[in-house]
Amino acid sequence: MTRHIYFINHFLKSKEKYDEVMRFGKYHPDYKKVMLETRQRKRAYEMLDVVMHYKAREMALQHLIDEVVTKIAYAVSEHVKIETGNPFFQTSHSGCATGGSCNCSL
């Protein structure tokens, strides 16, 4: 069994325990133990090279999608509201500074 599969299987087992414990919340007798174990295994899983590479590619793809959506929306109108999923991506500021762009001062 490869190292990746080992960590993935252990994380999935912890997740099953976590789901069971969360049915009862902090009142479950193993709450603290399972929460700590799940966090540790999730961290070990996320530190795998293949997972880090996947997450980086996922973020790059999301950035590209956000960029395309923004260009299409602004081609229609600059007043189109865009949900990019990343609040740091939006560079235009159309907030309320009583400049009239949001029509609140009218």
* Count of residues making up the chain: 106
Q: How far apart are CA 49 and CA 67, in angstroms?
A: 27
pLDDT of residue 52: 95
Residues with Cβ < 8 Å from 101, sequence gap 6 or more?
94
Q: How far apart are CA 34 and CA 28, in angstroms?
A: 10
pLDDT of residue 40: 93
Mean pLDDT for all residues in the chain: 82
Q: How far apart are CA 47 and CA 52, in angstroms?
A: 6
Q: Where residue 83 falls among pLDDT bands split at 50, 70, 90? A: confident
- 71 neighbors 77 (Cβ within 8 angstroms): no
- Segment 7-32 shows an average pLDDT of 90
pLDDT of residue 99: 54
Q: Is the pLDDT of residue 7 over 50?
A: yes
Residue 24 or 80, more confident:
24
The percent helix, strand, coil of the chain (3-state, each to 5) is 65, 0, 35
